[in-house]
């Protein structure tokens, strides 16, 4: 799924449209015959739009179901769908159904293995389980960089200046906070050592909050191409079913006719 989203166009053959319009039949259809054909076209257009609506919802649910186990429900909910034409009252024999995500760069990062490097500075800051939870969530627009910056700011606001600890001979370093106490009870986490705790030396000298790395390699976690192929197959089936139903209900000829 690229940054512009992804879609699949479901449409009736132009040959069918010409037939329904009376083209290629050598006939000039007027009066009640033209009215009957117009009414028939309207039935098929209504069936096509109803089928497109069903495929749009089914496809969106299918895509969200693929994303949720890998990236969570919040990212999954960024997947949307729309049926064209989308103006109220407009119909078409060949409607389009488009699915897209409001966070395409997040999804693309996990549809194939990628190397992510820091856009500014030398390192990416990866939070450890010791870092505050606030600020770790992905924004509604899927911007993880802003979320990470907010988490760094929240950590320094809570504990004071982060200290950089280089690791000799290693391709990473750490950001730590000194003299913290492990919280007790349900809240857990770390907190600043009180003066009394400092006198008792009841604290940890250094707690690692972030690991700094120059880049990370993501692994493929999503197979959205397979899902879109399944959606295309389901879409074709829905359109065939919809048109067959229109024919059977409105144009079927009885055995004695």
pLDDT digits (tens, 9 = 90+) for 53-84: 999 999 999 999 999 998 899 999 999 999 99
- The two beta strands, 163-166 and 215-218, are unpaired
Q: In whole angstroms, give the CA distance from residue 95 to residue 19.
A: 18
**Higher pLDDT among residues 41 and 79, named by residue:** 79
Q: What is the DSSP string of 201-225?
A: T-SEEEEEEEEEESEEEEPP---HH
Q: For residue 208, give both structure tokens.
A: 């690692």
**pLDDT above 60 (res 241):** yes
Per residue in 158-167, pLDDT (tens digit) is 888 899 998 8
DSSP 167: -
Q: State yes or no: cis peptide before 85, omega within 30 of 0.
A: yes
- Output the CA torsion 185→191→197→202 (10° steps): 70
DSSP 93: S
Asked if 84 contacts 98 with a C-beta cutoff of 8 angstroms, the reply is yes
Per residue in 87-114, pLDDT (tens digit) is 777 888 888 888 989 888 888 878 877 7
Asked if 154 contacts 146 with a C-beta cutoff of 8 angstroms, the reply is no
What is the percentage of the chain residues whose pLDDT exceeds 90? 16
Find where tokens 């007027």 sit: 30
DSSP 171: S
Tell me the whole-structure pTM to 2 decimals: 0.55
Four-residue CA torsion sign, 18, 24, 29, 33: negative
- Output the CA torsion 154→105→142→211 (10° steps): -20
Helix extents (H) in 72-214: 73-76, 104-111, 144-159, 195-200
- Please, what is the Cα angle at 216 between 210 and 221, to 5 degrees? 110
With CA atoms as reference, report the closest residue to 222 among 85, 62, 31: 62
């Amino acid at each position: 799924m690229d940054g512009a989203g992804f879609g699949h166009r479901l449409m009736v053959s132009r040959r069918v449209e010409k037939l329904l319009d009376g083209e290629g039949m050598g006939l000039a259809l007027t009066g009640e015959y033209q009215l009957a054909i117009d009414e028939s076209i309207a039935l098929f257009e209504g069936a096509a739009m109803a089928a497109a609506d069903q495929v749009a919802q089914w496809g969106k649910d299918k895509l969200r179901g693929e994303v949720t186990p890998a990236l969570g429900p919040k990212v999954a909910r960024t997947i949307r769908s729309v049926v064209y034409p989308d103006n109220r009252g407009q119909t078409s024999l060949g409607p389009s159904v488009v699915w897209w995500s409001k966070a395409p760069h997040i999804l693309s990062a996990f549809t194939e293995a990628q190397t992510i490097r820091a856009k500014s500075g030398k390192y990416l800051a990866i939070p450890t389980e010791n870092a505050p939870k606030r600020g770790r969530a992905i924004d509604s627009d899927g911007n993880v960089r802003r979320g990470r910056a907010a988490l760094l700011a929240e950590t320094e606001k809570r504990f004071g200046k982060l200290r950089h600890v280089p690791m000799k001979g290693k391709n990473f370093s750490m950001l730590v906070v000194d003299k913290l106490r492990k919280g007790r009870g349900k809240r857990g986490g770390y907190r600043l050592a009180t003066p009394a705790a400092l006198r008792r030396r009841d604290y940890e000298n250094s707690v690692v909050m972030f690991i700094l790395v120059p880049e990370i390699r993501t692994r493929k976690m999503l197979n959205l191409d397979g899902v879109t192929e399944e959606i295309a197959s389901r879409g074709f089936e829905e359109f065939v079913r919809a048109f067959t139903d229109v024919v059977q209900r409105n144009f079927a000829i009885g055995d004695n006719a």
